[in-house]
Amino acid sequence: MHAYKQFSALLKKEILLELRQKHALYGMMLYIASTIFVLYLTLGDAEAETWNALFWITQLFICINAVAKSFLQEAKGRMLYHFSITTPSAFILSKIVYNVLLMGIMNILNLILYTAFLGDPTTSFFAFVGISLLGSIGLSLVFTMLAAIASKAMQQASLMAILGFPIIIPQLLLLVRLSKTAFSEIFRDGAPLQVILLLLALDLSVILLAVILYPFLWKD
Amino acid sequence: MRLAWWKIASILLLCYAVAGGILLPVPALSQLGETIRNLYFHVCMWFAMMILFTISIIHSIKYLNKSDLRHDIKAKSYAAVGTYMGLLGYSTGAIWASFTWADPNNPAYASFGSIMREPKLIGAAMALLIYGAYFILRSSIKDMDQRARVSAVYNVFAYTMLFPSIWIIPRLLPSLHPGQEGNPALNFNDIDARMRMVFYPAVLGWTLLGAWITTLKIRIELIQEKKILSNEK
């Protein structure tokens, strides 16, 4: 119960901070809008395959940018304060949940702008929305952990990309593959469900690893 | 000069693997021809790489438990030699692929784009990129203890994410590479009995050689860092 209280207080703090410093949030939104606008201008008419691939690439970069700041904004002094009043698992879990929520919102915004500018080649749009939300959960989980690691080093933003890309490849391949169900590609019976379960299992293992490993990063 | 038994074993096994690999009979397959002998070198490099990476992560976990910098040096050295083995695996694989996979009508590099899509190559590229990132991460942290701790955390995290992926990706994508059903070379029916007689000793020999190189690296580093290490204890 105590741990849960800490967790919810930390989560509330994250959300409050975000709402008070709106510039970061608006910055993210503008980032999405201008990325998609550039794509729209350079790409013209995109085929389904290209559309799908570019969607996941934008999703990846949005995630890196959205999640990167979650540990950057923690000044040394404030980290020390957290260190003295909370447990590491409550802290990292609050970060994870907050980043998943943030990435969910950014994901919806990305989808809306993407379909508005680049059209909608999907045959079942709602399946694609579901898959993209599943994907954004996975991406934000992995990059939260990597942001925690990179925050201890110099040149954090670029380091996050270097550390993260090789790790995220399998998830991205699975997601690109899975989202083809929304483009009316025929799959073997039960294959999509298998991929979904695999992704959920990966997500779960990232959460477990974060809870196990974060206490070591935590102490300075 | 006295050598430990496993170093002598490594020398003997490698002599046997090289001589036997070139001289002993192999099954005649139309596509592979005599290039099949590369199995004793190419596949062994990947085996050695994975085993060295595994030893590296074990030392990382030990470091996280005990905060002894010696384990950090060991984890780093095993990762470095493992990466080196991986590069050798790539180059032996490239030679092999240029004889068997590359389109003979074009220069070999023209087939590069289609060859790199091989799931096994993606897996190998991921492993090397991860350890490349590991060394960049190490070099970007000044404080020794913090560097050791953070890189140990990344090592554990990346390695545990790497393993399911090496297992997943081959099942997702089509492949020309042997060992489609998951774990290449671990399946006993994949390899001819005559080749197994050379292959397993070769794996052992190359791995021991990798470990030998690593122990030398570790000894050099331990001497270099003597001051810090003796202050610590």
Q: What is the DSSP string of B2-21?
A: ---HHHHHHHHHHHHHHHHH
Distance, in angstroms, between B221 CA and closest chain A CA? Answer: 23
Distance, in angstroms, between B60 CA and closest chain A CA? Answer: 12
Distance, in angstroms, between A197 CA and closest chain B CA? Answer: 13
A126 interfaces chain B, CB cutoff of 8 Å = no
Residue-level pLDDT at A169: 86
Q: In angstroms, rounded to a whole number, what is the distance separating the alpha carbons of residues A110 and A51?
A: 13
Residue of B nearest to A220 (CA): B146
Cβ contacts of B118 on chain A, cutoff 8 Å:
none
Could you give the number of structural domains in chain A? 1
With contact defined as beta carbons under 8 Å apart, do B152 and A214 qualify? no
Cβ contacts of A209 on chain B, cutoff 8 Å:
156-157, 160-161
Cβ contacts of A213 on chain B, cutoff 8 Å:
153, 156-157
A198 interfaces chain B, CB cutoff of 8 Å = yes
Q: Do B153 and A153 touch (CB under 8 A)?
A: no
- Contacts with B226 (C-beta within 8 Å, 6 or more apart), sequence order: none
Cβ contacts of B136 on chain A, cutoff 8 Å:
159, 162
Element housing A158 (H / E): helix A156-179
Tell me how far the alpha carbon of residue A144 is from its chain's centroid. 8
Give the Å distances, CA to CA, from A145 to A114, B163, B198: 28, 18, 44
A200 interfaces chain B, CB cutoff of 8 Å = no
As given in the structure block, the two tokens for residue A214 are 């974060």
A145 vs B127, B136, B157: nearest CB? B157
Distance, in angstroms, between A19 CA and closest chain B CA? Answer: 31
Angular region, A155: left φ>0, alpha ψ -120 to 50, beta rest: left
pLDDT tens, residue by residue, B79-109? 999 999 989 988 888 888 777 776 667 766 6
Phi/psi at B173 (5° precision): -110, 150
Q: Do A209 and B160 touch (CB under 8 A)?
A: yes
Cβ contacts of B150 on chain A, cutoff 8 Å:
149, 152-153, 217
Select from B63, B140, B173 the residue whose CB has the most chain A CBs within 10 Å, as the one to mutate to test that interface: B140
- Contacts with A78 (C-beta within 8 Å, 6 or more apart), sequence order: none
Cβ contacts of A163 on chain B, cutoff 8 Å:
133, 137, 154, 158
Each residue's pLDDT, cut to its tens digit, for chain A (220 residues) gives: 677 888 888 888 888 888 888 888 888 899 999 999 999 898 877 788 888 888 999 999 999 888 887 777 777 777 778 778 888 888 889 889 999 999 999 999 999 998 888 888 888 888 889 999 999 999 999 999 998 888 888 767 788 888 888 889 888 888 888 888 887 777 777 778 888 888 898 899 999 999 999 888 877 6
Q: Do B156 and A202 touch (CB under 8 A)?
A: no
Q: Do A173 and B169 touch (CB under 8 A)?
A: yes
Q: In whole numbers, what is the pLDDT of chain B averaged over residues?
A: 80
Q: Do B154 and A216 touch (CB under 8 A)?
A: no
Q: In angstroms, rounded to a whole number, what is the distance separating the alpha carbons of residues A64 and A58?
A: 10
With contact defined as beta carbons under 8 Å apart, do A146 and A95 qualify? no
* Axis crossing angle, helix A191-218 with helix B144-172, rounded to the nearest 10: 170
Residue-level pLDDT at A85: 81
Extract long-range pairs of A13-17: CB within 8 Å, 24+ residues apart: A13/A94, A14/A70, A14/A94, A14/A95, A14/A98, A15/A98, A15/A101, A17/A73
Select from B138, B165, B166, B175 the residue whose CB has the most chain A CBs within 10 Å, as the one to mutate to test that interface: B165
The ipTM, to two decimals, is 0.85
Give the predicted TM-score (pTM) of the model: 0.85
Each residue's pLDDT, cut to its tens digit, for chain B (233 residues) gives: 677 888 888 888 888 888 877 777 767 666 666 777 777 788 888 888 889 999 999 999 999 988 888 899 999 999 999 999 989 988 888 888 777 776 667 766 676 776 777 777 888 888 889 999 999 999 988 888 888 999 999 999 988 888 777 777 766 665 556 655 544 555 545 566 677 777 888 888 888 898 889 989 999 988 888 877 776 55
Residue-level pLDDT at B46: 86
The DSSP-derived string for A55-120 is HHHHHHHHHHHHHHHHHHT--HHHHHHHHHHS-HHHHHHHHHHHHHHHHHHHHHHHHHHHHHHH--
Q: Do A202 and B164 touch (CB under 8 A)?
A: yes
For chain A, the C-alpha Rg in angstroms (whole number) is: 18
Residue listed under structure tokens 């934000």: A140
Cβ contacts of A198 on chain B, cutoff 8 Å:
168
- For A180, the domain range is 2-218
Q: Do A213 and B156 touch (CB under 8 A)?
A: yes
Cβ contacts of A173 on chain B, cutoff 8 Å:
169, 172-173
B161 vs A167, A217, A220: nearest CB? A167
